[in-house]
Structure 1
Amino acid sequence: MHFRLNQYCEPNFSLDKFTNSPDATLQHAPKDMVAPLGFHATSIFPEYYKINGQWLLAEDSRMDCVAIYENGKVFVREFRNIRCGDAIVMGRTENCEEGIYVHTDCFTSEEKNKEAFSFRQGRSRETGFSCDYDFINGLLQHEKENGYVVWVLGPACTFDIEARKSFSKLIENGYVHALLAGNALATHDLEAGLLGTALGQDLYSQRPHFNGHYNHIDTINKVNLHGSIANFIHKENITDGIMYSLVKNKIPFVLNGSIRDDGPLPDVYEHTYNGQDSMRAHLRKATTVIGMATTLHTIAAGNMTPTYRVLPDGTIREVYFYTVDTAEFAVNKLGDRGSLGAKGIVTNVQDFVGNLCKGLNI
């Protein structure tokens, strides 16, 4: 399958609706963390704002935030980052009526020309994903040198010996530029490296070890003793696994805490918004995002990821988002939460990453 990126179609600003549009209304924030009533909330799509007669693109966006005009540019910021006096875009229309244009149909692809009525258009266990695998393999080969691939992983990604090996291969071969996860993924992967188990079960046979329910908390305890995941890997002579490969290849990772965490590990963010800022630092560079076996972390990543990215040279390109899970509910819920551009693949993670490795010949 020949791979190529979909092309961005810029709006035709010579059309009457653009030339006749009024400037967007700006109002000052009345206090920190508060927008004026009637503020405009951003979407996942490219958005243009007419200010002083010029249509300006919000170059770095995310959904459910506010657009702020500052120093000749439009910045998209979370409500918690609003400061008193910020000039905030007002209005709730999206087709130039109030100087706001949301550009939804902005990437051309062969898929656009399809029948209005046809069968099996959803993403379910009955869907054939062969074409998706071919496309993702081509995409990853392109992104290895030209993009920024962010993976979002749940702990199930390290419960199977082959899934763990296959994802390590993806890291070793340059197909992972950042990883987002929680305390559990790192804990059980390090447990596997130290004791050969995940939650006390043998990685290959799935048989429980005697007193195996201690294994993950013993692992956390040892990591805390050494002060960091990197120190633990070095001091305990860990030689395999996802976290080992990340540390060895100097790939950044962000681990966010949860109310249910054991420990947690010393590298885990315990303050929600510090962790969110660290996630967004990678997602605002992402050109491809792949979430596997974690509904909450994938939705969190989806909420911070627009459908487009403005590259340093000014080129606008599509951001590709995939979510992988055994449950149709999990892969479809992302769309229900506003990430309309995400594609779901209904399968288990060991099959998914194993098929990727075969397709990439690694």
Structure 2
Amino acid sequence: MSFVLPAYHAPDFAALGLGEAPDVSLVPAPKDGVVPEGYHATTMFPEYFRLGGRWVLAQESRMDCVAVCRDGGISIVEFRNVKAGDPVAVGRTEDGSQGIYVHTTGFEEERSAEGEAFSFRQGRSRETAYSMDYDSMYELLRHEREHGNILWVMGPACTFDADARSAFAALVREGFVDGVLGGNALATHDLEAGCRGTALGQDIYTQRSQPNGHYNHIDTINDVRRLGSIQAFVDSGAVKDGIIYECVKKGVPFVLVGSVRDDGPLPEVYGNVYEGQDAMRNLIRKATTIICMASTLHTVATGNMTPCYRVVDGVVRPLYFYSVDISEFAVNKLRDRGSLTVKTIVTNVQDFIVHVKNGVCG
């Protein structure tokens, strides 16, 4: 059976008694990076603002930003990017009474009245049965390859295993990867594996530590910096395979955002956190499915920038978001941070990548 996107049910403002609701109040920002008192902080859900007597949907959203009226529409803007004089939406209610309506049920299916009040194992844990999740994901990825944009957020654990690297490289080649977000370690250890066969000095197949192997990742960074870029390093023939290798060869964009502990780092790594956040959000804006694996830092950052919907060719559709980690704490942390529509899978990400590759590529 082919995958079908669920229909979006827009709010019926007349039925909600909001046909004659007041326009949203717009107050100029007093200075760059400062918003007026009583500003409305945005959410991950579709949000409508009453402008000129009509309800206008913000075309995209993200948590903890503000709504600014621009060109007759609503732009969702980070506090740091607000400019003096920007007309900022003001109001702390979300029920439409102040011209702001947050729509949380647009993709909900009608629930059966026969559901039981009590049942076991309703949470998501290492004991959860994930067979249906995998099958649903395979259908989704095949659909998204043709009709959407698939973004992967990856920690360095994805590079430490030979089979996982090979499997993800196949996903890139087969068109199931439209973008990658990660840090310095992801690219460094993947490139180390591609030219030295190790990750942090340990053979990626046998797990044996190599003589002087603790130099390998630093030597790799140095080699890349000598040539000036990851692209030049791949073009030199020094690296033969892997995740970053396939991304470069196929022209798949990747964004690497650094941290205070980074070695080197690689030339493409963003050292300025806000420049890195902007680069991440540029890829996130295109994504219709996001899969985060074994990187709590980058997963939470991505979740905070990701709405639960996307407007494509004028049609509102769901944005699918997965968090995969062997730690229940890691996947639950994202839900605790407000990403309420995330689907969590508690498993070893190396096994997960291989399963997904086998499920969609054979």
TM-score, structure 2 as length reference: 0.97
Distance 1:91 1:109 in 2: 30
Distance 1:100 1:164 in 2: 46
Q: Which runs of 5+ in 1 are unaligned?
A: none
Distance 2:349 2:16 in 1: 50
> Once the 2 structures are TM-superposed, how far is the Cα of residue 361 of structure 1 from its aligned partner?
3.3
Amino acid paired to 1:310? V
Distance 1:56 1:110 in 2: 26
1:282 is matched with 283
Whether contact under 8 Å (1:68, 1:74) holds in the other structure is yes
Give the secondary-structure state (helix, strand or coil) at the position aligned to 1:108. Answer: coil
Distance 1:214 1:239 in 2: 20
1:107 is matched with 107
Distance 2:37 2:116 in 1: 42
Give the secondary-structure state (helix, strand or coil) at the position aligned to 2:186. Answer: helix
Whether contact under 8 Å (1:7, 1:108) holds in the other structure is no
Whether contact under 8 Å (1:7, 1:109) holds in the other structure is no
Amino acid paired to 1:190? L
1:361 and 2:350 are equivalent in the alignment: no
TM-score, structure 1 as length reference: 0.97
Distance 1:296 1:361 in 2: 29
Distance 1:25 1:216 in 2: 54
1:241 and 2:242 are equivalent in the alignment: yes
> Once the 2 structures are TM-superposed, how far is the Cα of residue 269 of structure 1 from its aligned partner?
0.9
Identical-pair percentage = 58
Distance 1:211 1:171 in 2: 32
2:206 is matched with 205
Whether contact under 8 Å (2:23, 2:52) holds in the other structure is yes
Whether contact under 8 Å (2:195, 2:240) holds in the other structure is no
Distance 2:14 2:288 in 1: 30
1:28 is matched with 28
Give the secondary-structure state (helix, strand or coil) at the position aligned to 1:107. Answer: coil
> Once the 2 structures are TM-superposed, how far is the Cα of residue 21 of structure 1 from its aligned partner?
1.9
1:74 and 2:96 are equivalent in the alignment: no
> Once the 2 structures are TM-superposed, how far is the Cα of residue 79 of structure 1 from its aligned partner?
0.3
Distance 1:269 1:184 in 2: 13
Q: Which runs of 5+ in 2 are unaligned?
A: none
Distance 1:158 1:100 in 2: 45
Distance 1:146 1:219 in 2: 37
Aligned residues: 361
2:342 is matched with 342
> Once the 2 structures are TM-superposed, how far is the Cα of residue 360 of structure 1 from its aligned partner?
1.2
Give the secondary-structure state (helix, strand or coil) at the position aligned to 1:8. Answer: coil
Moved more, 287-296 or 231-240: 231-240
Give the secondary-structure state (helix, strand or coil) at the position aligned to 1:61. Answer: coil
> Once the 2 structures are TM-superposed, how far is the Cα of residue 14 of structure 1 from its aligned partner?
1.7
1:178 is matched with 179
Whether contact under 8 Å (1:322, 1:342) holds in the other structure is yes
> Once the 2 structures are TM-superposed, how far is the Cα of residue 2 of structure 1 from its aligned partner?
4.9
